[in-house]
């Protein structure tokens, strides 16, 4: 029996189902159920929510989410070997856990979820950033989710919450902070995982705001920011040449000096620039 439910400890689950960690699937498992319950608590009050979990593996975080009172969990896992372990959890929480086997990048989970929806995941590092960018750039805002509670490599977590003037500040920070409150909720050393990865990790919690902090067209903002940070050491007047011959006028309208570099421009500044470009 474990600390948070009456299912076997995760080491026993892994041994009995032969779930040796596969590097190709980014498998670094969390085996401490007190820790997974603590991560689940960072996601807020789950009692009235459906939770989308990507990469449940042997189910440590899944059990944390359910023991913390999630109404339902939809767990998408690529590794079919995990099915028996996840079925044991589903039997313990009847009607509350649905497992889908496949690549989270190819599956549209929306038909299987009812609002309010929160996302919580110890993401495979190789797909984590790609999924985050997709969740941050839906066709309409507010998005399908209320909050995202996601494990990242520490360095990626710092890029998400970075402020202007820091090395970590870039496209991910602007994208995340334009329409969300974003903060690092927990830090985890490599030894928290089995096997231990080379780097530290952190849990980032993002809450979707009802509307953006500053007005801008999402596509224009995304294009401007990508171009600006693509050559982050260059002055904006040359980094943004591709936006057309009037770039210095746009920068002037937005109140940004053409000699500034991307990492000095605030979120508000980028939004003003996107508006100037759109008004062209
Ligand atoms: N959530 C578990 C935990 O906390 O112990 C496992 C985390 S492990 C870092 C990442 C999990 O994501 C693995 O179980 C892996 O098989 C799964 N995974 C990897 N790529 C995936 C993908 N494209 N779609 C869905 N799951 C994936």
Q: Where are the domains of the chain?
A: 10-208, 218-279
Find out whether 77 and 56 touch, Cβ atoms under 8 Å: yes
Tell me which residue has its CA closest to atom 22 in ligand 1.
Answer: 103
Domain 218-279, CATH class in plain words = mainly alpha
Give the contacts of 37 (CB within 8 A, at least 6 positions apart): 3, 4, 63, 64, 67, 68
Q: What is the pLDDT of residue 280?
A: 85
| Residue ranges lining ligand 1, Cβ < 6 Å | 25-30, 54-57, 60-61, 76-79, 103-105, 122, 124, 127
Q: Is 63 left (phi over 0), alpha (psi -120 to 50) or beta?
A: alpha
Counting from 1 in the atom list of ligand 1, the atom nearest the Cα of 30 is 5
Rounded Cα distance between 66 and 76, Å, is: 15
Length of the chain: 280
Other CB atoms within a 10 A radius of the CB of residue 137 amount to: 14
Domain 10-208, CATH class in plain words = alpha beta
What 3-state class would DSSP assign to 258?
coil
CA distances, 18 to each of 12, 13, 21, 138, 152 (Å): 10, 8, 9, 38, 26
Other CB atoms within a 10 A radius of the CB of residue 79 amount to: 18
Tell me which residue has its CA closest to atom 11 in ligand 1.
Answer: 55
Rounded Cα distance between 112 and 126, Å, is: 25
Distance from residue 180's CA to the centre of ligand 1 (Å) = 25
Counting from 1 in the atom list of ligand 1, the atom nearest the Cα of 36 is 4
pLDDT tens string, the chain, 280 residues long: the values are: 678 999 999 999 999 999 999 999 999 999 999 999 999 999 999 999 999 999 999 999 999 999 999 999 999 999 999 999 999 999 999 999 999 999 999 999 999 999 999 999 998 877 999 999 999 999 999 999 999 999 999 999 999 999 999 999 999 999 999 999 999 999 999 999 999 999 999 999 999 999 999 999 999 999 999 999 999 999 999 999 999 999 999 999 999 999 999 999 999 999 999 999 999 8
Counting from 1 in the atom list of ligand 1, the atom nearest the Cα of 29 is 5
Find out whether 240 and 249 touch, Cβ atoms under 8 Å: no
Among positive and negative, which fits the CA dihedral 102, 13, 124, 114? positive
Tell me which residue has its CA closest to atom 17 in ligand 1.
Answer: 55
Distance from residue 231's CA to the centre of ligand 1 (Å) = 33
Rounded Cα distance between 36 and 33, Å, is: 5
Counting from 1 in the atom list of ligand 1, the atom nearest the Cα of 126 is 20
Listed residue (85, 88, 3, 79) closest to 38, CA to CA: 3
Counting from 1 in the atom list of ligand 1, the atom nearest the Cα of 22 is 16
Distance from residue 236's CA to the centre of ligand 1 (Å) = 39
Q: Which of 39, 55, 102 to mutate to test the pocket of ligand 1 (most atoms within 8 A of CB)?
A: 55
Within 139-245, residue ranges assigned H as helices are 154-161, 171-179, 218-230, 236-239
Find out whether 173 and 159 touch, Cβ atoms under 8 Å: yes
């Amino acid at each position: 029996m474990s600390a948070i439910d009456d299912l076997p400890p995760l080491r026993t689950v892994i041994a009995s189902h032969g779930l040796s960690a596969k590097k190709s699937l980014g498998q670094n498992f969390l085996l401490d159920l007190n820790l997974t319950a603590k991560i689940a608590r960072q996601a807020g009050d789950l009692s009235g929510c459906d939770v989308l979990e990507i990469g449940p593996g042997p189910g440590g975080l899944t059990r944390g989410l359910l023991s913390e009172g999630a109404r339902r969990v939809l767990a998408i896992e690529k590794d079919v070997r995990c099915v028996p372990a996840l079925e044991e959890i589903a039997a313990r929480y009847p009607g509350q856990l649905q497992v889908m086997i496949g690549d989270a990048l190819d599956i549209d989970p929306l038909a299987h979820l009812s609002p309010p929806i929160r996302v919580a995941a110890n993401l495979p590092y190789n797909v984590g950033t790609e999924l985050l960018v997709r969740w941050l750039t839906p066709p309409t805002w507010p998005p399908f989710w209320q909050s995202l509670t996601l494990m990242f490599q520490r360095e990626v977590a710092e890029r998400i919450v970075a402020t202007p003037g820091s090395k970590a500040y870039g496209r991910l920070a602007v994208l995340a902070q334009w329409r969300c409150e974003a903060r690092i909720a927990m830090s985890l050393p490599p030894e928290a995982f089995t096997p231990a990865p080379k780097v530290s990790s952190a849990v980032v919690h993002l809450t979707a705001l009802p509307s953006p902090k500053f007005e801008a067209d999402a596509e224009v903002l995304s294009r401007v920011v990508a171009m600006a940070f693509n050559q982050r050491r260059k002055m904006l007047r040359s980094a943004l040449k591709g936006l057309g011959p009037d770039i210095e006028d746009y920068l002037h309208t937005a109140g940004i000096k053409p000699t500034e570099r991307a990492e000095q421009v605030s979120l508000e500044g980028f939004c003003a620039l996107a508006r100037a470009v759109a008004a062209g």
